Chain A
Amino acid sequence: MVTLRMRVNGVTRSLELEPWVSLLDALRERLGLTGTKKGCDQGACGACTVLVDGERINSCLALAVQYEDRDITTIEGVTHPIQQAFIEHDGFQCGYCTSGQICSAIGMLAEHGAGMPSAVTEPGASGLSEAEIRERMSGNLCRCGAYNGIVDAIKEVAR
């Protein structure tokens, strides 16, 4: 057993857990923060995306013990205009990938704002085109196929 502290949604939480517990399972099963979803547990679907010190990660591929004293934001701690934009543009159907899409979009906007390029960034280009959004969000799968609405929601808040 390892004892560690992390800040989750602005609140310092103390956890006692085995070193092999993933950050995702720690959030869901130990802290009761079930807004973060498990879709594959293999880093392939993005449903478990959370923000760590503002950067997006797949929490299923992270061990909780690596995040001592870090600042974790889950969907329960998100208050952002993109949530309303998702509703207005119908950027979801079943809602299961939505937490991950929203956290990922917030992280993605910060990455783009900091000048990080993607595979489709043209030299000298700075805007966030639809192609850029689609490329940068491709780690978050949506089986209901709400991609058009998600892109529209992100476009609206990026404006």
Chain B
Amino acid sequence: MSTTTTETKSPPRERAVGRGIDRVDGPEKTTGKARFAAEFPYPDLAYAALVHATVARGRITGIDVKAAEAVTGVLSVLTHLNAPVLKPAPARSMLDLSTMVSATSVNYLNTDEVHWDGQPVAVVVAESLEAAQRGAGLVEVTYQEFPAVVDFAAEEANAKPQPNSMLGAGSAKKGDAEAALAVAPVSVDLRFTTPPHNHNAIEPHATTAVWDGDRLTVHEGSQAISWMRKHLAYRFGIPERNVRMTSPYVGGGFGGKGSVWPGTILTALAARATGRAVRMMLTREGVYRTVGGRTPSIQRVALGAGQDGRLTALIQTSVTRTGKVGGNSESVAEAARHLYDAENILIQQNLVEMDLLPNTFMRAPGVAIGTFALEAAIDELAGELGVDPIELRMRNEPARSPLDGKRFAHRMLREAYALGAERFGWAERTPEPGSMRDGRWLVGMGVATAYHSSVQFTANVTVRLSADGTVVVRCGFQEMGMGGATVQAQIAADELGVPFEAVRVEYGDSDLPTGPMAGGSAQTASIAASLLSACEKLKGSVLALARRSGDSPLRGQRLAAVEARDGGLYRRDRPGAGESYEAILSRAGRPSVEAAIGSESGLGALAGQVRFMAKFINDQRRWVKAASGAQFCEVRVDPDTGEVRVSRWLGVFDVGRVINAKTAASQLRGGIVMGIGMALSEETLVDPRNGRVMNPGLGDYHIPVHADVPPIDILYLDEPDPTMPLGLIGIGEVSITGVAGAIANAVHHATGKRVRDLPITLDKLL
């Protein structure tokens, strides 16, 4: 009898999780080989371009397409008079999350109604990009114009209470905050305003669509391929399995590619009408006109405290907008529910509906702008009290969620501030505004708390282990720079005890097992939860093969008694006793073993949704789960011009266990960079007379450039969250929160001026 016991002599291999491994798609992205949505070649490819409405609300009374049709190369001009029939978008329902991807309720080119300035009213399809664009410029449209509600500032008084939903309650109350505020020894009562923002992913939204009979293939930069596939199938009246959406690379999303916007539908429509493969990349202006951004807000934050700095009253109210034809309400005051242990709390979020392109989620919806106001107000209160702003936060740090007494799954803000203060040199800050200088520059230091609730979606995952020890993980998720394929490979490598390099992750294709959407900072944890289960199931199957063999040293072993390492399964009680996967699989005559989590059948998928809802509700009842952190910034302000430069940054984050220190740091830095833009330069200007975006381009909407961004230090507390898979908390959004507040506070420290209206441009400091 031969022995199959293998003695391992090599030292224990370093685990993949936690290491700063280079992202697996690096070689493709640095050589130009990574293929984005507008880069799939088809031999008969045609190009499409949009014609945008020039009124905010009205009815089309005439469309003259003759000049456009006369352009050499133009194949077709589609309007509401000749476009194929589309089903209207399905109503949104929490029972079917895919319905949430309807960006608007408008049935494009199936109606003569116009609901916002910029709505597509015609599509020109041509042999070349240039001919399509030329044709689009020649379509003449006349309108009967109706009165339209387009001036956000003027609508404040008409705002209505935001309805409660699973995505966030519109209002909340503990005690009588107004009464407590009125008698508080120290108080502030402040009004803040923030403008609309646009995502401005550098890749404009792009779609390549091709029909084969009643089968549709769509290449799309998408944050939600499975939900979008279902939406497209519904709109075109074909079975879901007839639609395939691929999205191997997404050139930035930030929420802007999480819904079905007009360009996607209309490219598929144009392909159907012309029988050609059609590509449409929106112009940058087209992105502003047809893809919603972040809502503007008007906020009130009022704080009352005793002389000891303990909060007696916390009030945060907001007015935001949606479109009359769609959009999402935002939980602007989300952080105020969880950050401070106030005796009395009042939260009231209100909405106005407008004749504008609906808003949509943009990185930390609600919270990014809400933490600006809340954290600037805390700083102002600290000034009134004469207390250090970190100390004031620590005096009001709650043991349980202040509004409802729920437990925090994880809460380390004290540690974050302590570590940050030490590393940033907070003790060197002299409290008096205007008291710190570097040459001619006024120097200011500010802090703010970052906070973002954590959620999980369902994810179907399969894992296949081959006899040669290689592993393939399959899940239809989306990769837009988070490093998804890299971190999931790290997780699978450790769970199965194989080298990181032996794992390949397939994603970005709706033919794969249904993945979660990339949103709500939920993707990594959602997949990880299923991947861990799938790996466990797979090890069980492999062990079962081994147990059947009388030769195996694993005979009679339970799964709990073995561990996966060094490319095989080994007994925990006798480290040398075990077998390689190769040995187990080849003896069993199996080329591979596969395990799957989640069902693709209609009934199975429904059961999955129900399980998701049950877990979601149960989690919400038991825990407050969130990523959080402490943002430290230093600014320099030119005393003559009011120019603000961010000169130093440190973010200390509690994001549970960090899977990949390198990609996580990049993602956290990215949120801070976007927050710097929000604080100092970003603003979508909407003409209050006609609802037209006035600065639809990167020359006029200023996102941060290299020169605006200082070295950004990132520290992790790296303590696993006991309620999350592997203890990880999603990191996509937390780092933008608090940024604008920290900068506003630092600007005040440098100059003595409080700017409560974003962005903090130099005219507001002069």
Residues of A that sit less than 8 Å from B by CB? 18, 20-21, 25, 28-29, 32-45, 47, 74-76, 78, 83-84, 86-88, 90, 92-99, 102, 130, 133-135, 137-151
Given contacts A35-B31, A90-B22, contact A42 B709 (CB under 8 A): no
Quick one: which of A40, A99, A138, A146 contacts B666, CB cutoff 8 A? A146
Q: Which one of A32, A33, A97 has the greatest number of beta carbons of chain B within 10 Å?
A: A97
- The answer to whether A95 and B34 touch across the interface, beta carbons within 8 angstroms, is yes
Chain B min CB distance to A37 (Å):
7
Question: Residues of B contacting A75 with CB < 8 Å?
Answer: 30-32
Chain B min CB distance to A90 (Å):
5
Interface residue B434 (Cβ < 8 Å from any Cβ of A):
no
Question: Residues of A contacting B251 with CB < 8 Å?
Answer: 37, 94-96
- The answer to whether A18 and B666 touch across the interface, beta carbons within 8 angstroms, is no
Q: Which one of B32, B34, B201 has the greatest number of beta carbons of chain A within 10 Å?
A: B32
Question: Residues of A contacting B481 with CB < 8 Å?
Answer: 92-95, 144
Interface residue B706 (Cβ < 8 Å from any Cβ of A):
yes
- The answer to whether B31 and A138 touch across the interface, beta carbons within 8 angstroms, is no
Chain B residues 153-178 with CB under 8 Å of chain A are none
- The answer to whether A148 and B669 touch across the interface, beta carbons within 8 angstroms, is yes
Question: Residues of A contacting B425 with CB < 8 Å?
Answer: none
Interface residue B687 (Cβ < 8 Å from any Cβ of A):
no
Chain B min CB distance to A125 (Å):
17
- The answer to whether B30 and A86 touch across the interface, beta carbons within 8 angstroms, is yes
Interface residue B227 (Cβ < 8 Å from any Cβ of A):
no
Chain B min CB distance to A128 (Å):
13
- The answer to whether B202 and A45 touch across the interface, beta carbons within 8 angstroms, is yes
- The answer to whether A135 and B707 touch across the interface, beta carbons within 8 angstroms, is yes
- The answer to whether B670 and A145 touch across the interface, beta carbons within 8 angstroms, is yes
Given pairs A96-B202, A141-B202, 9 additional interface contacts (CB within 8 A): A40-B204, A87-B27, A95-B25, A135-B707, A137-B706, A140-B706, A141-B705, A145-B673, A149-B666
Quick one: which of A42, A97, A138 contacts B202, CB cutoff 8 A? A97
Quick one: which of B22, B30, B284 contacts A39, CB cutoff 8 A? B284
- The answer to whether B32 and A138 touch across the interface, beta carbons within 8 angstroms, is no
Interface residue B283 (Cβ < 8 Å from any Cβ of A):
yes
Question: Residues of B contacting A139 with CB < 8 Å?
Answer: 705
Question: Residues of A contacting B704 with CB < 8 Å?
Answer: 145, 147
Given contacts A94-B201, A135-B706, A145-B671, contact A21 B252 (CB under 8 A): no
Residue of B nearest to A86 (CB): B30
Chain B residues 196-217 with CB under 8 Å of chain A are 199-204
1/0 per residue B703-716: CB within 8 Å of A? 11111010110000
Q: How far is the CA of A129 from the CA of B489 in the complex (A)?
A: 37
Question: Residues of A contacting B203 with CB < 8 Å?
Answer: 37, 39, 94, 96
Residues of B that sit less than 8 Å from A by CB? 22-23, 25-36, 38-39, 41, 128-130, 199-204, 249-254, 281, 283-284, 480-483, 662-663, 665-667, 669-674, 697-699, 703-707, 709, 711-712
Q: Which one of A32, A36, A92 has the greatest number of beta carbons of chain B within 10 Å?
A: A92
Quick one: which of B35, B252, B699 contacts A94, CB cutoff 8 A? B252
Pairs across A and B, CB under 8 Å, 22 listed: A18-B128, A18-B130, A32-B41, A34-B32, A34-B39, A35-B32, A39-B284, A75-B30, A76-B32, A86-B26, A87-B27, A90-B662, A93-B480, A93-B667, A94-B201, A94-B481, A95-B251, A96-B203, A98-B29, A138-B707, A139-B705, A140-B706
Chain B min CB distance to A2 (Å):
13
Question: Residues of B contacting A20 with CB < 8 Å?
Answer: 130
Question: Residues of A contacting B674 with CB < 8 Å?
Answer: 143, 145
Quick one: which of A41, A87, A94, A151 contacts B480, CB cutoff 8 A? A94
- The answer to whether A40 and B23 touch across the interface, beta carbons within 8 angstroms, is no
Q: Which one of A35, A78, A140, A145 has the greatest number of beta carbons of chain B within 10 Å?
A: A145
Q: How far is the CA of A40 from the CA of B201 in the complex (A)?
A: 10
By DSSP majority rule, is chain B's interface helix, strand, loop, or mixed? loop
Quick one: which of B250, B254, B698, B711 contacts A148, CB cutoff 8 A? B711
Chain A min CB distance to B561 (Å):
40
Q: Which one of A21, A93, A134 has the greatest number of beta carbons of chain B within 10 Å?
A: A93
Residue of B nearest to A135 (CB): B707
Question: Residues of B contacting A93 with CB < 8 Å?
Answer: 252, 480-483, 663, 666-667, 670
Quick one: which of B129, B249, B706 contacts A147, CB cutoff 8 A? B706
Residue of A nearest to B200 (CB): A143
Q: How far is the CA of A134 from the CA of B673 in the complex (A)?
A: 14
- The answer to whether B709 and A145 touch across the interface, beta carbons within 8 angstroms, is yes
- The answer to whether A83 and B31 touch across the interface, beta carbons within 8 angstroms, is yes
Residue of B nearest to A36 (CB): B32
Q: Which one of B253, B663, B707 has the greatest number of beta carbons of chain A within 10 Å?
A: B707
- The answer to whether B30 and A40 touch across the interface, beta carbons within 8 angstroms, is no
Given contacts A20-B130, A42-B699, A90-B22, contact A134 B27 (CB under 8 A): no
Given contacts A87-B23, A148-B712, A150-B706, contact A94 B250 (CB under 8 A): yes
Chain B min CB distance to A24 (Å):
10
Q: How far is the CA of A87 from the CA of B38 in the complex (A)?
A: 24
Q: How far is the CA of A143 from the CA of B198 in the complex (A)?
A: 11
- The answer to whether A134 and B709 touch across the interface, beta carbons within 8 angstroms, is yes
Q: How far is the CA of A42 from the CA of B287 in the complex (A)?
A: 14
Chain A min CB distance to B371 (Å):
18
Q: How far is the CA of A147 from the CA of B252 in the complex (A)?
A: 15
Quick one: which of A44, A86, A143 contacts B699, CB cutoff 8 A? A44
Q: How far is the CA of A87 from the CA of B663 in the complex (A)?
A: 11
Chain A min CB distance to B288 (Å):
11
Residue of A nearest to B482 (CB): A93
Question: Residues of B contacting A141 with CB < 8 Å?
Answer: 202, 698, 703, 705
Quick one: which of B30, B36, B281, B698 contacts A83, CB cutoff 8 A? B30
In the A-B complex, the 7 residue pairs with the smallest Cβ-Cβ separation, listed nearest first, are A35-B32, A93-B481, A145-B673, A96-B251, A95-B29, A145-B670, A94-B481
